[in-house]
Amino acid sequence: MREDFADLWRKRAAAFWKESFIYISYAARSGFAGFLLMFFIIGAYYYGKFLQSLPEAFPYWRFTTPLLALPLGMTGIRTFMKQADMVFLAPAEARLRSWWTSSIVYSFVFQAAVTLLLLLLVWPLYLACADEAALPFAHAALYLAAAKLLAVLGRFRADRLVYRLNRSAETLVRWVAAVVLPFALLTENPGKAWLLLLLAAVVQSLVVLPFPRHRVAWEHLIRREEISLKRHYTFYSWFADVPKLKTKPAARRFLGGITSRIPFRQEDTHRYLYAKTFIRSEYYAILVRTSVIAILLFLAVNHTAAVLLIYGVVLVMNCATVSSLAQSHRYSFWLELYPLDAERRVKAVSRICEAALLFSNIAMGAALIGFHGSGRLEALAAVAAGFLVILYFTRVSLPRKIKHAGD
């Protein structure tokens, strides 16, 4: 029976990755992989130039600590559980040890890999600043892997606690440890860093072990699994239609006046429908968030080439985001019942995407040009090129993509 549960877990994990690879292939065909490669090459170039111009006594820990704290603190357990398990697996909840072991190992391996990748990212900066006092990379990797294992085990224990207050206490301890441990690792002597790791393990045990817990917190685990799946599907929805993604429409009444100005005519049906969809969907929220983040980065970064790179990256991301609007209502039979011209759908989606991208580009362009006086001409040229990219994308590339998908 134990092997049966392990086999069931593996089948669900395999089914998840089989589906994920389909969506990943869509993302690769969209040019996202090439964009990531370009971003990596350009980023590596400027990272190298940044390391060459480091001042003495540079506070490297201000960069290494948050970058390593994020993967340590953001800890979850992928159980691959479903709603039906509350009925069919509940009678065997005392014999699910192999299921939990598989979930813990799976979660630890993937999250530890992300942590070590970020360690590789910050390691050149650490070596340039620490010089002869630098730790061996294997030592730092082992320490962070142990910290990640502690976080995973603590989260697994916390997910079984009965009371939410106890789970919140574990979250607080985990995030405090996520900040303190990488800071101590790269700034203090090794003995003190390992002592702090031991202290974190003791404190975490004190906040999870003495309190009442479920043998299996079915509702909580299933809810956490659904949240994890939604994150995956939200990312995939940038590149393809994801039927399993359930999104709750947002009212956003302050934008309601936009659609009320659309004439009540048959030829404007698609225009009204997709304008409403864009305003009330996650596409609008993603576009706003990425644009605001870009503007904040323009204010924080005082390097012309870097801000122009950020501008280009965000522009490409915004184009990919709004283009997913074409996948909305793809399976709605009402659009097939009414005598509507299919060509008007392509034009409506393209014009709505164009308007959204133009407004976003105006906001980002104003911040880019206004806050970088030394590189104002370069910024002005970049924003002008951005407008041309948007017009080409929404009037040539996107309509062609929509028509091809409909064939």
- For the chain, domain boundaries: 2-19+29-224, 253-406
pLDDT, greater one: 33 or 223:
223
Angle at the Cα of 161 (from 158 to 167), degrees rounded to 5? 50
Q: Is the pLDDT of residue 19 over 50?
A: yes
* Structural contact between residues 237 and 96, judged by C-beta atoms closer than 8 angstroms: no
3-state SS assignment for residue 83: coil
CA dist 48 and 34 (Å) reads: 21
Residue bearing tokens 């503007």: 295
Residue 324, both tokens:
């997913």
Mean pLDDT of 52-67: 86
- Rounded to 5 degrees, φ, ψ at 301 are -95, 130
Mean pLDDT of 119-123: 94
- Convert the pLDDT of each residue in 345-365 to its tens digit: 788 888 999 999 999 999 999
CA dist 238 and 27 (Å) reads: 8
Q: Distances from the Cα of 327 to the Cαs of 71, 246, 322, in angstroms?
A: 32, 14, 10
Mean pLDDT of 295-306: 77
Ramachandran assignment for 209, one of left (phi > 0), alpha (psi -120 to 50 degrees), beta (any other)? alpha
CA dist 309 and 43 (Å) reads: 9
CA dist 9 and 110 (Å) reads: 16
88 closest CA partner among 77, 99, 78:
99
Question: Would you state the pLDDT for residue 6?
Answer: 86
Question: Would you state the pLDDT for residue 376?
Answer: 80
- Cα-trace Rg, the chain: 25
Mean pLDDT of 272-298: 81
Question: Would you state the pLDDT for residue 1?
Answer: 42
CA dist 128 and 66 (Å) reads: 18
pTM, two decimal places = 0.69
3-state SS assignment for residue 213: strand
CA dist 232 and 286 (Å) reads: 15
What is the chain's length? 407
* Structural contact between residues 156 and 104, judged by C-beta atoms closer than 8 angstroms: yes
Average pLDDT, the chain: 84
* Structural contact between residues 82 and 161, judged by C-beta atoms closer than 8 angstroms: no
